[in-house]
Amino acid sequence: MKIGFIGLGIMGRPMARNLLKAGHEVVCYDVNKANVDDLVKSGATAAVSSADVARQVPLVITMLPNSPHVKSAVLGEKGVLEGAKEGLIIVDMSSIAPLASQEIEKACAAKGVRMLDAPVSGGEPKAIDGTLAIMVGGDKDLFEEVKDVLLKMGSSAVHCGPIGAGNTTKLANQVIVALNIAAVSEAFTLVRMAGVDPTLVFDAIKGGLAGSTVLNAKAPMMIESNFAPGFKIDLHIKDLDNVLDTGHGVGSPLPLTSLVREMMSTLRADGFGQDDHSALARYYAKLSGTKIGK
């Protein structure tokens, strides 16, 4: 299949590469020309705008930072709808506000364009190896139509309900991930301050009830003081802002999420917004004067 891909950042580029490896043709666009040039080296074809992408393909995938970027790419000048033919499918794999997904889908439907929201979890490592968890909202039959394509980028793709349900599921995921990272940071700061080796503690607890994908991925980074981004603090702040906006809208209490959001704000103010979200360990180092790692 010939597939359009808009948004070639940390996540989008490896996802598009996996489509190429699976034998699909990819027509790509990004506001950063260097990202486009890099993917062209892998076999993709460059487009000059989002509209240009849409003119050439039956399926467009978008992978962009936040709601305004998706609205601009789809609804704006030289956007997808400007170049879309009736029947075009848009799969937005960005992590955005559920209400924004619903608004964009409504504008698409008015032009005969079908849309799913399909955010992902797993960060850059799983984007590279094609094992992302994909959460999908929208028409169930349309999901079945594109599921095989999604599974070239992920190890699972689950239909979660109507449009917006994918992003609601992603928000829940981001709450759990953020709170887990904060808990790991807090626990390992305690360990270090008590004079116990964090590496031995990690080995001892990872097979028990405290074990998790978050622990396995983030504790070693904290122990090595390696905060090279797989998923940046700034992006997690964006997601938690969407969580809080959605929670306020539906009346859901989010006291722990609010606290971790403020911790991340402190890190951003200290210049660490581009660090991996495992840099929550830096917040505890600031409070305690003790680093978990080296």
Strand stretches in the chain, DSSP E = 2-6, 25-29, 45-46, 59-62, 89-92, 114-117, 120-121, 132-137, 154-161
Cα 254 to Cα 49: distance, rounded to the nearest angstrom: 39
What are the φ/ψ torsions at residue 132 (nearest 5 degrees)? -65, 150
DSSP bridge pairs for 121:
133
Cα 129 to Cα 190: distance, rounded to the nearest angstrom: 34
Return the SS3 of 169: helix
Among 176, 246, 179, 189, which Cα is nearest to 222's? 189
Cα 9 to Cα 13: distance, rounded to the nearest angstrom: 6
- Is 170 catalytic? The answer is yes
Cα 2 to Cα 15: distance, rounded to the nearest angstrom: 15
How would you classify the pairing of strands 89-92 and 45-46? unpaired
Structure tokens at 290: 């003790």
Which is catalytic among the residues 170, 218, 232, 238?
Answer: 170
Question: Residues 62, 37: contact at Cβ < 8 Å?
Answer: no
Question: Residues 206, 216: contact at Cβ < 8 Å?
Answer: yes
Q: Is 1 exposed, middle or buried (0-12, 13-18, 19+ CB in 10 A)?
A: middle
Which residues are known catalytic residues? 170
